[in-house]
Structure 1
């Protein structure tokens, strides 16, 4: 039996595969908007394991499978033996004998790595505390649609060195852009992630230095899911890290703004920016559907070839 390809981080695909996947996502979007019926996963089933709740992730994967002619099963901790202490290895062995693809949204990254090592079918990381690679596919698709290749461009990450930041570090390596990370001390991305990126990513403390001349400015909430009790402490630490009109004015005049959502207007981003003309947050959210369809097609069918 062939070993399945998994997508646990952007590093699981080659830069060439990622570039082709983005182009395929753009093509699948065009086909869907033109009303073309394309069902490469007809009668196939996606198992969706959610230990963290989500709006965009669930809707985009379920819709994608439906458009591809397949179906999906939503599994929360209440619906599975995982929530009752069954070993991850056992759940992976059983679930992967019944479904054709598995998507997992959980906390510890080690959990999804263990699951994938015992799975007979492709496993997709739909978010862990360590990274969020599916969101980066959507972000890269959105940039390419609006501005062309992101290779050689400068991206500013403003805020927490969290799972999204880690994925942007990996994206800088894989897509060939320069990443400047502006975060307060004590909120840096994991050292190993940053070190592995070499010169592709650097930390600059001042958000103005990060935004200067940038082609893309990105942020995320100050307190991610599970960190709500830290909200007050984080609000103080990140007080000078809001993406607002003054910060965007330092970026390139053609710069785009992205946010993976949900957004807290008045905290990490001003309403004038996220609802303004440089924001592509809504296209970015929509593109979760199209880029994940391209990903599922690639993992299951082996295309784009």
Structure 2
């Protein structure tokens, strides 16, 4: 039976932990020059991206190749799902030719429709609701530092966006503390928050929503931010700069952070907007470790989905 990965919730807690452990082992072996080329042997996985990408598209292509598969990148202007032809027609063609689809879309509903009409795995490479592959890489990065302990607090500063949603959900899985801080009116999706709170009752995770950046920074070992205007929100960018100006990660606010705090960003960053150049280049920054781990976490995901 095929397994899709549209949301953190599409895998169980134990399965998510297994994917991250697989990613950790792939990383160790990668550094030894071992790639496990037979895992995706004779498999073709299509990549359809409606939005720009550097890290996601590069690391999926590399991961698929290093695991022995073939990554078929389809230009958005050629495919134009839902414009040139219906989504269900596009994916039913690919369903007959390929072994899976990795897709970055404007609307999460597109992924749901893709999954409905296919018998092959659909992987969410970012939608307006979630970015689960980013969260897998981020938790691999954090857990490497904590030696796989969940005794840490992850603070997310800024817009309650897709990355925030996936990080909140995966925090509820792992049982750590998660604090979101941002301006009123830009809180995370209520359904996502409620689901995270529900899961937290079983895992002892702690989910907090506040408008106080000082509180979040003081109490977080890992301090995360993202752009204030995501892809598709460019028309709101100038207005959002005014609304979010007091939520910038800079050296002044980080004076209140715990000792040995780490700064995280999913990239691309708008330097000197949501985070200063000084902070992103500081010794506390682990943003490029996060980017590195996209490759290994996604290998773990692919190995899990295609070994079942």
TM-score normalised by the shorter chain: which range applies? over 0.9
- 1:33-67 Cα deviation digits (max 9, x unpaired): 11124111122111001111101111001111111
Partner of 2:293: 287
Partner of 1:180: 179
**C-alpha displacement at 1:244, in angstroms?**
1.4
| Cα gap change, 1:256 to 1:150, in 2 (>3 Å) | farther
Query: Can you give the 5+ residue segments of structure 2 that lack an aligned partner in the other structure?
Result: 201-205
Structure 1 residue runs of 4+, over 3 Å off? none
Partner of 1:86: 85
Give yes or no for the alignment of 1:76 onto 2:75. yes
Give yes or no for the alignment of 1:234 onto 2:240. yes
Distance 1:84 1:228 in 2: 22
**C-alpha displacement at 1:81, in angstroms?**
5.6
**C-alpha displacement at 1:13, in angstroms?**
0.9
Distance 1:52 1:109 in 2: 13
Give yes or no for the alignment of 1:269 onto 2:267. no
**C-alpha displacement at 1:252, in angstroms?**
2.0
- 1:247-266 Cα deviation digits (max 9, x unpaired): 22322212211100011111
Distance 1:72 1:252 in 2: 43
Secondary structure of 2:102's counterpart equals strand
Q: Once superposed, what is the RMSD of the aligned Cα atoms?
A: 1.4
Secondary structure of 2:64's counterpart equals helix
Pairing of 1:116-131 with structure 2 (within 5 A):
116-131=115-130
Distance 2:211 2:187 in 1: 10
Distance 2:58 2:23 in 1: 17
- Between Structure 1 and Structure 2, how many residues are aligned? 300
- 1:251-295 Cα deviation digits (max 9, x unpaired): 221221110001111110112211111111001001111100110
Pairing of 1:1-305 with structure 2 (within 5 A):
2=1, 4-39=2-37, 40-80=39-79, 82=81, 84-198=83-197, 200-302=206-308
| Cα gap change, 1:18 to 1:233, in 2 (>3 Å) | same
- 1:93-123 Cα deviation digits (max 9, x unpaired): 2211211121010011011011112111111
Query: Can you give the 5+ residue segments of structure 1 that lack an aligned partner in the other structure?
Result: none
- 1:217-238 Cα deviation digits (max 9, x unpaired): 0000111111111111000001
Secondary structure of 1:282's counterpart equals helix
Distance 2:33 2:225 in 1: 34
Secondary structure of 1:114's counterpart equals helix
Provide TM-score, normalisation by structure 1: 0.95
Distance 1:108 1:237 in 2: 25
Secondary structure of 1:301's counterpart equals coil
